[in-house]
Structures are given as C-alpha cells and as structure tokens.
Amino acid sequence: MGRGMGNGTTGWVPPHCPNPNCRYFNASEDPWPFKRKGFYTRRPRDRRIQRFTCLACKRNFSCQSFAVSYWQKRPELIPRIFMMAVGGMANRQIAHALGCSHSTVAHHIARLGRHCLLLQARELERLPALHEIAIDGFETFEWSQYFPFHHNVAVDVETGYFLYHTDSPLRRKGRMTERQKARRAELEATLGKPSPNAVETGVRGLLEAITSGQRTITVRSDDHRAYPRAIRALNCEITHQITSSKERRDKRNPLWEVNLLDLMIRHSTAAHKRETIAYAKRRQGSIDKLAMFQVWRNTMKRRWEKGTRVTSAMLLGLAKRPWRVRDILTERIFYDKVALSPCWDRYYRREVKTAALAVNRTHTLTYAF
C-alpha cells in the first residue's frame, strides 16, 4: 500500500473509507486496512479506474468514489454547466449548447447545488469574527406569480462575502384584477396559505446560522416589520441599523452591499431576470442555483472588476488566490463530514416543496448521497 499522487493512478491512496458506517470513515493518523481490487474502464475516454476493498467493513469502492463526478455518465459536462448556470443561461439553453437533454442539465445542477451547499458550509466553519452584516429579502416566484417567495440573504459589509441564505414562501400581494383575486382565493382554498410568519422564521434561521459563536454584531437592514422580531429572538447582542427602502440605492446607501448582491443574483440567474420565460418552476431548483452562485461569487468573482484581482474569500482570509472551477470541483465532499444547519439540511435532501406540483422528488440516493 504505497503512497502516491494522482486520483486514478496505481499509487493513489484513498484518504478514508467512503462508507459512513465504517470506523475508518473519518480519517485518522493510523493507516487504515484496504486492498486494491483490480480496475474497470470508464467510458467514453476508456479511462482505467482503480478499485479497492475496505478490509474493515468489506465495502467495495473505487477512486471515483471520491470525485464530484461519482456515478455521472457525462462528467465532462459538470464544469461547463456550472459556468453556464452562473453566467445567466437557462437550463434548455445550456442543453442546446452542450448537446444533451434538459433533464441531464437539471440533474447536474441539483448535484452541483448540493456540492456547493457542503462546500459553503465547510467554509463558514472557518469564518473569522464578523462585525457588520447586511440582510435583505430577494423576492422572486416559483411556478407562477401566485407563488412568490423570498431568498433571505446576508452579506458581510466589509468584504461583500455572501454569507448565508434561507427561503420564505409569501402570499401574492400588490395590485390585482378581480379575476386574479378570485384565482388566488381558489388556489389558497386548495393548497393553503403560506404562514404569515414565514419571513420572520426565515430571517431568524438566517441570523442564527451567522451569529452562532458571535458575541456582538451589527445588522443592517431595511424597514421590514419582521426583521426586529427575528432579531429579538437571538441569543447574541445585536445592534440593528435600519435604512428606509425608499432611500436612493447608491454606494452611499448603508445597504449598498446587499443591494449589489440582489443585483448580481438577478443579473447572473436566468430565472430572476425581468419578464422572462425562464422563471423558476420549483423553489428547490432556485435554491440549487443560488448555492452555486454563492460559491462562484465568493471564490471566483473579483471583488472589483478593475484593479487588484482579489475575491471576497481572499479578503476574509479564506483563500490565497481566486479560485477556478476545478478548485471548486477538486473533490467530493461527503455529507456526513459536514454539519449542515436544519435549513440547509432540508435543502440538501431536496425537501422544499412546490405546492402547485403533485410530485416533489427528494434526494434519497444511497451511495451518491
């Protein structure tokens, strides 16, 4: 069992057993017992993949078990789909450009979303103490405009680092015709109304995840009535600075960083552009793409397009250089090795339901979980 370099080569050594129920799942200083068990050929490039057997739990696996492309038939699509999705292309446009089906694109985006959730959660564990954050509710909709919801987002004021996000389903509001009001009443009678406290609950979960371990922090927000109630429920000393949503949204606005984040989300995601036919059909799909955008924004996107090539992650001391796609996809992150918040755990399992749809599939795979 010699040590070597290069995933897939004969000298590569698996860092741990991929079986979460094995005592060698968590890496230790002591070598763990395994043996090599031949190879198999992976198409389409006829790449030879090394097989292994864990001698403790008898699980068979390969070096591919530690790759982001585990159980993927077309792994070459993964980095291209990532960049196209955060570049504002819709799923069918991506499918046409890559010569694959739109369902293939959807499955890859779902996997990339889960991977980015784990990656971002792992990075959050290394965050230094935060001083000022800004929060906001990015409003969009799923399936139709009768089902609006908020992406509750938080950003570090000093570095622009996109910290966290949750969701809150809303009731359709604003000016409506009598026919639209009747249709809303019909849908609510059949599917039920969203909770009137959904924004408060979502923002409280947002702030709980960020302020965990913090003693004091300053929170900037607009004058939404649910925010003070959410803040009062926290076990952290918070200074709440409120800016009217009617204030001019330029760089002198205290909410500039979160307003800029909202602008970038709308610019970089096809579903959020004005009057588009690419709107999100499922809230879960919108969450997956937001997780991808979050990692791209923090690790790849320059903090300033002109001047020094630094990212928000670099300014927080989480990275030494701007990342590339291959840095994001360098390894498979195992679910059982990362502590997800209850909200993000629900996202990972794809348990966010779209009320208008009868079928909402969850993530229940055994080996590729």
* Sign of the dihedral through C-alpha 260, 117, 150, 87: positive
Q: From residue 22, give the alpha-carbon distance in Å to each of 65, 195, 251.
A: 15, 42, 53
Q: Which pLDDT tens digit goes with each residue over 217-230?
A: 999 999 999 999 99
Q: What is the pLDDT of residue 10?
A: 59
pLDDT digits (tens, 9 = 90+) for 166-217: 999 999 999 999 999 999 999 999 999 999 999 999 999 999 999 988 899 9
AA letter at 128: P
Q: How does pLDDT run across 243-286, given as a tens digit for each residue?
A: 999 999 999 999 999 999 999 999 999 999 988 999 999 999 99
Q: Which domains does the chain possess?
A: 1-66 (no CATH), 74-126+281-369 (no CATH), 127-268 (3.30.420)
pLDDT in tens, 34-47: 999 998 887 766 78
Tell me the C-alpha distance between 314 and 299, whole Å: 8
**Strands, sheet with 132-141, edge to edge from the N-terminal-most edge strand:** 162-169, 148-156, 132-141, 216-221, 237-242
| Residue 1's pLDDT band (cuts 50, 70, 90) | very low
Sorting pLDDT into bands at 50, 70 and 90, what band is 4? very low
What is the phi-psi region of residue 200: left when phi exceeds 0, alpha when psi lies from -120 to 50, beta otherwise? alpha
- Residues 146-167 have a mean pLDDT of 97
Q: Are 34 and 53 in contact (CB under 8 A)?
A: yes
Q: Is the pLDDT of residue 3 over 50?
A: no
- Element spanning 113, H or E: helix 102-124
Q: How far is CA 59 from CA 33, 52, 64, 70, 94, in A?
A: 12, 8, 14, 16, 37
Contact assessment for residue 210 and residue 130, using Cβ atoms and an 8 Å cutoff: yes
**Global confidence as pTM:** 0.93
pLDDT grade for 288, boundaries at 50, 70 and 90: very high
Q: Hey, what are 312's tokens?
A: 């928000």
SS3 83: helix
What the block records as the tokens of 313 is 């992650």
> Rounded mean pLDDT of 61-69?
93
